[in-house]
Every structure is written in C-alpha cells, then in structure tokens.
Amino acid sequence: MLLPSLLEVIQQESFEDVPLNGTVSRSSTVHSLPRKRGGAAPGTAAGTSPEAVFITPSQRLRLGQKKRTMAAEMMRRSSALDTTDFLSDDELPDDLIVYNVPYTRPLRKYGSVSSFSSFGSPKTRASSIFSASSDLSELSLLEDDSKFSDDACRLSLSEDPLVNESLERIAMLNSYKHLSVPATSKEKLSYLTVTRQTNLPPKDPREASKHTRDYQRLLQAQIDQEQKKLAERKRHLEEQAKQTEKDRAAWRAVLRDYDRLVCLAETRELWWRGVPADLRINVWIRQMGRTELSDSQIAQYLSEADNIISKACDFKVQRPDPKQFAAQNSKNIHLIRSVQSYSDLIQQAFPNLLIFQYGQAFDSILKVMLAFNLHQRESASRQFQQIQLTHLVNLICVLYYNLRDEKLTLRMFVNLVSKKLIYHLLVDTNNEYLEDITAQFDKFLAKTSPAIHAHFKAVGLQPRTVIANTVPSLFSKCLNMDVCSRLVDIYIFEGDTFPLRVLLALIRKIQYKLLGSKEEICNVLGPECLAHLNKSEKYAYKYLDVGDAIEFITDVRTVLRRQSVPQ
C-alpha cells in the first residue's frame, strides 16, 4: 500500500480551529481528517459523531503541550484516557502559554461562500449580515492590530516575497542533504546511495564516493548562491529602509512649508520614491483635500448612508412585506436594494488582505459608496450622476486602506473621480479631449511596444477601450495594494498624463499575455482581470505580475525616455 505524499496530507488538513461553541467550521475548499475515537467525550451532545471532531494544527500544538505537562496524571488515569477529550478548549490548564505570534493566513481559496452570520457589534452589523466569508471569526482578528505584540505586527507586515522565496529554496536544498534510502535488505543497503536509483546495479565504491562528493559540492554551490542572493536582498532592504527614513524627514519639512517646497525638483523625487505610509494621510489630503463638499455635507451623507445600511439590515433579517417596505422607504429604496450588490463587490476587493471582507473596514467602504450615491443624487450635473461604482470599489478600498477614515476617503474619492481624464472616461463623453488622448497614447504605444501595437490593430482592439478598462480605477482592478498605493502617491502630483505612462509600462511588462484574441486581451486588461486570473487558483490569490512596487515605478518613469529600448 502506497503512503500518501506530503502534498496530499497538507491538502487534507484544515488550518482552522473548532469554534468554542462546539460547532465545526469547515472550509469549502480544505477538508479536515476525522479523528477516530473510541468513545464519546464528557459533555458532548448525544447526537455528535466522532467524525464531528477535527484536528487542526493549533489544536495539535495544544494537545502535544498538554500531553507533556500532564504526562504523570495521564499515566495514573490511563483507564479514563479514551473518554477524555483533550481537544476541548475548556480543559486547557490555567498555566498554558499561548504565544503571541503573527496571524497566518489560511491555505484556501479566498472568497468562498458557505454561510451567513447575523452576529456582530452594532458598528459592524452590515458586515455580519451581508458578508459571506466562510470563517468570520478568523477575519475579525484583523480588525484590531493591538491583539498582537509590536514584534509580531512588524514580523507580519515586513514580509518580503523575495526573502521568503530564498529562505524556502535554501531549506529545500538543505533537505536534499539528508535523503533517506528506501527500505530494503541489509545486504543491498550497504551498496546503495541516495543519488542512485535502487533498480540499477551498484557502482564501484570509489566511483560511488566520488559521485556523492560531486553531488554534495553541487548542492552546496547552489546553497551558497541562494545565501548570497538572500544577503544581497537584505542589504537592499536595509538601504531602502534608510532611504525611507530620510524621505520621511524630508516630507515632514515639506508639510511645514508646503506651498513653497512642493514645487521644487527635490520634492518631485520624493513623490516618485513614494510617500511613507504613516504620512500619506497628511500628504494626500494636503494635495487633494480641497473639494466642493463641506464638512457638514460629508457628515450628513455618511449619516444618511448609515441609516440606509440599517434599513437594509432590517429588511434582510426581519423579512417584512416587500411592497409595504418599499412604500415606507420610497425615497431610498433603490439605495437600500444596492447594499447587497455593493457588499458582493466589496467581498471581491483585495481578498488576500482579509480586511475588507468583514468588520469595520467592510462597513466603512459600504458607507462611503452609499454617501457618494447620495452626493450624486443632489448634484446638478447629469453626467456626474451617471458615474457607476461597479468598477471603482477597489479604488475606494485603496484610499480607505491608507486613510483609515470615512470622511477623508469620501473627500479624496470625489476629488479623484472629478479629475479630467478619469471623469470623462467614467461618463463616456465623446469629445475632442478623449480623442486627442487616445491618439497620443496610440502613437506612444507604437514606439514603446510596436509588436503589441500591431497586434492590437490586427485583432481590432481600439486603444480607447484599453484606456477605459484600466485608467478609471487607477489599475486597482489588476495590481496589488502596494503598487496601487504608490500609483496614487504619484498621480495626485503628476496629473492625468501619469496613468497613460503607467498603462504603457504595464503593457510593455506583460506583453507576453497580450498576444491572444481581442476577448483574451480584454480579460487581461479589463475590469474582470483578477476574476479571470484567479479562476483556477485554489490556495492563493494572484495579481498581474509587474514585480515589486519600486521596480514597476522605475519602469513607469523610464518608459518614455529616449534611451529606453523598445521591446
């Protein structure tokens, strides 16, 4: 009988804990192995079967520690061993140490739908009712950063993909040093080596020894190469951290004398290197905070949005007569009905971060969207009223992620969609401005990516379609949060020409994905980019691969320089 592979065992394990109320929370994509027991545990319900208890990694850790601390007592009470449930949280000893470690994301498909919950605090009622996460308790851990120590938070937030990749590769290479020889007879065992197949005749001992030394030398050379790359990456990160500290001090000086210093060439270098995350709220609002909306209007819109969400929650929970409910709320019935569709869109926004799917962030994004609709309703511009939020949810999430304030997010979002290029793309007005923009983009695309330009013409894909699919959301529908935040850093200073440069750099970066049919190209550079990209993914979430933020911003800045070589 063949033993299961390590990957098969991992795929069968669940990384979720059994809730304290005794119910079993199961992921829709990852299943747990049942724990076989001889008898029922004390205090369990009569109808609970042994298959209802599942061993998860965290429970296995508690089980192992409890066995060590209570070994003597367990030996004395061996007769009752089969009737004791060592997985119960109620039986954990008072002196059990629970280490304050960073939160580890589950190995499963994000966005899986299994059940709805109607529990939660008044501030997060909407997310408790309208969110569809398969493990709400797990997502709620991310609402309060104070649940972890400072070291744990820094360890979670400072993860670098390249460093993790090098560490994993080094660990894999080290494991090759200790390959085990398959079980066989003692006579044959003395002739076998880990580098030779067992079905081949044994080598001469001297030749086998030389082969083993060559194998170890090649293996060590690969390990040394990976360690060198790891050291170089760490050195680069240290230099980057030092530069960030210098930039932080420079930005604080700029904020003290903003109107004079923001026009300097040195400040332009600052925003191209990125605004430090802790200063974005000051820099973004200082640059883009001026709007026609007054503070009292913003507060009024958000308050009305809160009432609309409350009505939508009551309708879903209490299930009143639809006609009577619509008559009583005729003014806002359209917005009340949109709460469900908006909630579904929020669920799909940056699911790998696990902060927009449940809790305060979910409710805040929903309030900002409804407040914007209320502002549209009172606007005198019919074109402004035509703006649809369907493909702008991710952009709102980017703003809230950095500002962490509903009022500031609404103010910033109104300013962004009022920018000339984004506004005309959203309202789809056929004017000379967009025609000129499209012609300029087409000319530069022919220079920077001539092969892609020719292919777009061959399949009949208009440049304006590509611009309209990507620019209004500032590429938040296809790139990760870090890159999108950096794009906002620069866009608020550089203006409407910047998104076009980003699109040129993006096309040049992923041109290997843009050689298919018109439909296939729109799947890559369209509003449903991430849905198509993650269609076959089960245990991770992917964005368009443009490298890290620094690398991509460098590509954006150099894409139109004369010394850049067309690809």
The 3-class SS string of 233-273 reads: HHHHHHHHHHHHHHHHHHHHHHHHCHHHHCCCHHHHHHHHH
In this prediction, residue 357 has a pLDDT band, given cuts at 50, 70 and 90, of confident
More confident residue, 206 or 20: 206
Q: Is the pLDDT of residue 247 over 50?
A: yes
Q: Is the pLDDT of residue 118 over 70?
A: no
**DSSP-derived 3-state class of residue 34:** strand
The DSSP-derived string for 182-219 is PP--HHHHTT--TTS-TTSPPPPHHHHHHHHHHHHHHH
In this prediction, residue 121 has a pLDDT band, given cuts at 50, 70 and 90, of low
pTM metric for this prediction: 0.71
Looking from the CA of 61 toward its CB, the CA atoms found within 13 Å total 9
Q: Give the integer Cα–Cα distance in Å for 189 and 209.
A: 15
Q: Which of 369, 406, 409 is nearest to 390 (CA)?
A: 369
Tens of pLDDT, residue by residue over 103-113, are 444 433 444 33
Q: Give the integer Cα–Cα distance in Å for 203 and 197.
A: 11
Q: Give the integer Cα–Cα distance in Å for 482 and 479.
A: 8
Q: Is the pLDDT of residue 1 over 50?
A: no
Tens of pLDDT, residue by residue over 264-310, are 999 999 999 999 999 999 999 999 867 778 889 999 999 999 999 99
Tens of pLDDT, residue by residue over 418-475, are 999 999 999 876 688 899 999 999 999 999 999 999 999 999 999 999 999 999 999 9
Tens of pLDDT, residue by residue over 33-43, are 343 344 443 33
Neighbours of 356 (CB within 10 A): 26
More confident residue, 351 or 80: 351
Q: Give the integer Cα–Cα distance in Å for 538 and 30.
A: 9
Tens of pLDDT, residue by residue over 490-503, are 999 999 999 999 99
Q: Give the integer Cα–Cα distance in Å for 492 and 403.
A: 15
Contacts of 203 (CB under 8 A, 6+ apart): 193, 196, 211
Q: Give the integer Cα–Cα distance in Å for 152 and 159.
A: 11
Q: Is the pLDDT of residue 209 over 70?
A: yes
Q: Give the integer Cα–Cα distance in Å for 393 and 410.
A: 12
Are the beta carbons of 419 and 473 closer than 8 angstroms? no
Q: Which domains does the chain have, with CATH numbers?
A: 1-98 (no CATH), 106-144+289-418 (no CATH), 160-286 (no CATH), 420-567 (1.10.472.80)
In this prediction, residue 32 has a pLDDT band, given cuts at 50, 70 and 90, of very low
Rounded mean pLDDT, 358-362: 88
In this prediction, residue 414 has a pLDDT band, given cuts at 50, 70 and 90, of very high
